[in-house]
Chain A
Amino acid sequence: MPELSPAAGDHAIDMRGITKYFAETHVLADDDVSLTVKSGEVHALVGENGAGKTTLMNILFGLQQPDAGEIHVFGNLARIRSAEDALALGIGMVHQHFKLIDSFTVAQNVLLGSEPTRAGWLRPDAEQQIVSALSDEFGLPIDPNARVSDLPVGLQQRLEILKALHHDARVLILDEPTAVLTPQEARSLLDVLRGLAARGRSVILITHKLLEVIDSADRISVMRQGRLITTVPASSVTASELAELMVGRSVALSFERRPGAAADEVLHVEELTVVAPDGTVQVDEVSLTVHRGEVVGIAGVSGNGQDALVDAITGLAHPESGSVRLEGRDVTDRPVHERRAAGMAHIPEDRLTVGLNRATTLDENVLVSHYRERGFARWGVLRMGPIRRLAEWVRDTFAIAAAQPGEGIATLSGGNLQKIVLGRELSGSPSCIIANQPTRGLDVGSIEFVHRTLLDARDNGAAVLLVSAEIDEVRALSDRIVVLYRGRIAGELTPDEATDDLLGLLMAGGARAEETPS
Chain B
Amino acid sequence: MIEFTIDTFVVEMLRSGIRLATPIILAAIGAALCHRAGVLNFAIEGKMLFGAFFGIVAAFWLGNSYLGVAAALIGGGIIGALFALFYLRYRVDLIILALAINLFISAMTVFFLRVSFGAFGSWTDPSIEQLPDIHLPLIESIPVLGRLLSGHNLVIYLSWVAAIAAWLVLFRTKFGRHIRAVGENPEAAESVGINAARVKLFVLVTSGSLAAAAGAFLSVGHLTLFTSDMSNGRGWLGITAALFGLNNPIFVFLAGLFFGVADALAVRLPTVTHIPPSLIQFLPNLSALLALVLVGLRGPIRTRLARRRRRGRRGAGAGIESLPPTGPPATPTIS
Direct contact of A and B (CB under 8 A): yes
Instruction: Please determine whether B188 and A101 come into contact, CB atoms closer than 8 angstroms.
Output: yes
Q: Is the CB of B325 within 8 A of A122?
A: no
Q: Which of A122, A153, A183 contacts B323 (CB 8 A)?
A: A183
Query: How many whole Å from B250's CB to the nearest CB in chain A?
Result: 17
Question: Which of A112-120, A195-203, A344-352 is the interface stretch?
Answer: A112-120
With an 8 A cutoff between CB atoms, is B194 at the interface?
A: yes
Complex partner residue of A152 from B181, B320, B325, B328, CB under 8 angstroms:
B320
Q: Give residues 183-206 of B contacting A (CB, 8 Å).
A: 184-185, 187-194
| A153 nearest CB neighbor, chain B only | B320
Q: Are A122 and B180 CB-contacts (below 8 A) given A183-B326, A279-B320, A281-B322?
A: no
Closest to B331 in A: A238
- Most chain A CB neighbours (cut-off 10 Å) among B184, B303, B324: B324
- Of A83, A152, A281, the residue contacting B321 (CB under 8 A) is A281
- Asked if B296 is an interface residue, CB under 8 A from chain A, the answer is no
| Chain A residue at smallest Cβ distance from B188 | A99
Please give the distance in Å from B61's CB to the nearest CB on chain A: 37
22 pairs, CB–CB < 8 Å, chain A vs chain B: A87-B192, A99-B187, A99-B191, A101-B184, A101-B189, A112-B189, A112-B192, A112-B194, A114-B192, A117-B174, A167-B192, A211-B332, A239-B332, A240-B331, A240-B334, A284-B322, A501-B334, A509-B325, A509-B327, A511-B326, A513-B334, A513-B335
| Mask of B188-227 contacts with A, CB within 8 angstroms, 1/0 | 1111111000000000000000000000000000000000
Q: In the complex, what's the smallest C-beta–C-beta distance from B262 to chain A, in angstroms?
A: 31
Contacts of A182 in B (CB 8 A): 320-323
Query: Does chain B have a CB within 8 A of A215?
Result: yes
Separation of A183 and B325 alpha carbons in the complex (Å): 8
Interface residues of A (CB under 8 A from B): 83-84, 87, 99-104, 108, 112-115, 117, 120-122, 152-153, 163, 167, 182-183, 211, 214-215, 238-240, 275, 277, 279-281, 284, 485-488, 490, 501-502, 505, 509-513, 517-518
Cβ-defined contact, A511 with B184, below 8 A = no
Q: What chain A residues lie within 8 Å of B326 (beta carbons)?
A: 183, 511, 517
B332: A residues at CB distance < 8 A? 211, 238-240, 505, 510
5 tightest A-B CB contacts, nearest first:
A113-B192, A99-B188, A513-B333, A239-B332, A517-B324
CB distance from B105 to the nearest CB of A (A): 34
| Chain B residue contacts of A281, Cβ below 8 A | 320-322
Contact call A511/B327, Cβ cutoff below 8 A = yes
Chain B: minimal CB distance from A86 (Å): 10
Interface check B173, CB cutoff 8 A: yes
**Residue in A108, A280, A485, A517 whose CB lies within 8 Å of B177:** A108
Cα separation A84 to B324 with both chains bound (whole Å): 40
A211→B180 CA distance, assembly (Å): 41
Nearest CB of B to A211, in Å: 6
A323 to B153, CA, bound (A): 69
A238 partner residues in chain B, CB cutoff 8 A: 331-332
Using Cβ atoms and an 8 Å threshold, which residues of chain A touch B157?
none
A490 adjacent to B310 (CB under 8 Å)? no
- State the Cβ distance, A102 to closest chain B Cβ, in Å: 7
Contact residues in B for A84 (Cβ distance below 8 Å): 193
* B175 CB contact (under 8 Å) in A99, A112, A120, A279: A120
B134 at the interface (CB under 8 A from A): no
The residue on B at minimum CB distance from A120 is: B173
> Separation in Å of the B180 CB from the closest CB of chain A?
7
Interface check B62, CB cutoff 8 A: no
CB-defined contacts of B135 to chain A, threshold 8 Å: none
Whether B193 lies near A113 (C-beta < 8 A) is yes
**Chain A residues closer than 8 Å to B320, beta-carbon distance:** 152-153, 182, 279-281
Complex: how many Å from CA A275 to CA B319? 13
Chain B residues within an 8 Å CB radius of A502: 334
Kindly supply a per-residue 1/0 record for chain B positions 41-75, scoring 1 wherever the CB is within 8 Å of any chain A CB and 0 otherwise.
Answer: 00000000000000000000000000000000000
- Could you list 6 further interchain pairs (A-B, Cβ under 8 angstroms) beyond the known A87-B193, A486-B325, A490-B325? A84-B193, A104-B180, A115-B174, A281-B320, A512-B333, A517-B324
Contact B323 A104 (CB under 8 A): no
Chain A residues within 8 Å of B306, by CB: 279
The answer to whether A517 and B194 touch (CB under 8 A), given A101-B180, A281-B320, is no
For B178, B319, B333, the residue with the greatest tally of chain A CB atoms inside 10 Å of its CB is: B333
B172 sits at the interface (CB 8 A) = yes
Identify which of residues 160-184 in chain B touch chain A, using a CB-to-CB cut-off of 8 Å.
172-175, 177-178, 180-181, 184
